[in-house]
């Protein structure tokens, strides 16, 4: 069985094709689906095993990045999303998709798994304007934390991925940050290239000023995952900015995230 991946599209989405390539290389079957086809019922989300919300500038990032798509999902797709999560299926949000997930409340979610299916939950964190007050586009070093995330099972301790965003500063009240730490929901932190440490990291190593240098988080179940860096932009060594100067492995750092998702779906849903 090839797990089925729905890659959500709307006005302003621009990383859907790259995300589709990533899941195809990982062994998944992908469909690019406009949100109106979900809202109308033309496409049934329950037919899929993985939902991917890719990067871009949904609805032009009017008001705030990802907020209009988040409102649309909360008010028009809440029932199908709750069913999807309750069925232990996977959701990944990359860059703009991460912004959407925090604004729906699906991330970081609540602190107990029994409440994880409730999309009508308050927004408990946000992705605010970068402290540099400008769009940041560069490759960054990431440190993998001990975490619950399905997407990062067996992943190496340090990754190198590109970012491209203006509103990527993860921030939350201290009690939420403490909860993320205690529940092992912090997946990636921005780090220092030479020491692979996330201690005392400042700009530009932390490109946006995120609290605790947080670059990606998951929910309490580990099945909903959001990150600001773009793993779909580093799938093979040819994507690396120094591929002509360094002896690199064939597989890029980002591909394993998609492979883990597909492997989980294969093991969990025997159809």
Please give the full DSSP string across 217-255, using - where no structure is assigned. Answer: EE-TTS-EEEESS-GGG-SBGGGSTTTTTS---SB-TTH
Tokens of 23: 């899941």
- Kindly report the length of the chain: 271
Reply yes or no on whether 230 is catalytic: yes
Reply yes or no on whether 196 is catalytic: no
Q: Are strands 126-128 and 169-171 parallel, antiparallel or unpaired?
A: antiparallel
Cα dist from 169 to 31, 52, 265, 267, whole Å: 30, 21, 31, 35
Residue 175 DSSP label: H
* Active-site residue, from 15, 72, 149, 230: 230
CB burial string 169-190: b at 16+ within 10 A, e below:
bbbbeeebbebbeebebbbbbb
* Active-site residue, from 95, 136, 218, 240: 95
Reply yes or no on whether 270 is catalytic: no
Of 251, 248, 249, 217, the closest CA to residue 234 belongs to 251
pLDDT at 121: 74
Residue with tokens 């860059």: 95
- pLDDT per residue, tens digit, the chain (271 aa), is 799 999 999 999 999 999 999 999 999 999 999 999 999 999 999 999 999 999 999 999 988 899 999 999 999 999 999 999 999 999 999 999 999 999 999 999 976 665 565 676 789 999 999 999 999 999 999 999 999 999 999 999 999 999 999 999 999 999 999 999 999 999 999 999 876 777 778 899 999 999 999 999 999 999 999 999 999 999 999 999 999 999 999 999 999 999 999 999 999 997 5
Tokens of 44: 């049934």
């Amino acid at each position: 069985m090839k797990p089925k991946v729905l890659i959500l599209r709307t006005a302003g989405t621009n990383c859907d094709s790259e995300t589709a390539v990533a899941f195809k290389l990982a062994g998944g079957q992908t469909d690019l689906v406009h949100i109106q086809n979900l809202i109308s019922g033309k496409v049934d989300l329950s037919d899929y095993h993985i939902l991917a919300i890719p990067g871009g500038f949904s609805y032009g990032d009017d008001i705030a990045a990802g907020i209009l798509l988040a409102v649309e999902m909360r008010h028009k797709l809440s029932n199908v999303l709750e069913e999807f999560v309750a069925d232990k299926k996977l959701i990944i949000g990359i860059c703009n998709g991460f912004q959407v997930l925090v604004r729906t409340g699906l991330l970081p979610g609540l602190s107990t798994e029994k409440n994880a299916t409730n999309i009508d939950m308050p927004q408990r964190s946000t992705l605010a304007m970068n402290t540099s007050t400008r769009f940041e586009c560069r490759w960054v070093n990431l440190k993998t934390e001990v975490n619950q995330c399905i997407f990062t099972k067996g992943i190496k301790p340090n990754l190198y991925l590109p970012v491209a965003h203006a509103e990527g500063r993860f921030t939350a009240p201290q009690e939420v940050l403490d909860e993320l730490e205690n529940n092992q929901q912090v997946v990636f932190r921005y780090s220092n290239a030479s020491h692979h440490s996330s201690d005392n990291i400042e700009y530009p190593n932390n490109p946006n000023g995120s609290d605790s240098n947080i670059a990606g988080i998951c929910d309490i179940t580990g099945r909903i995952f959001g990150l600001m860096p773009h793993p779909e932009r580093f799938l093979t060594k040819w994507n690396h900015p120094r591929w002509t100067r360094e002896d690199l492995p064939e597989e890029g750092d980002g591909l394993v995230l998609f492979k883990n998702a597909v492997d989980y779906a294969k093991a969990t849903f025997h159809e």
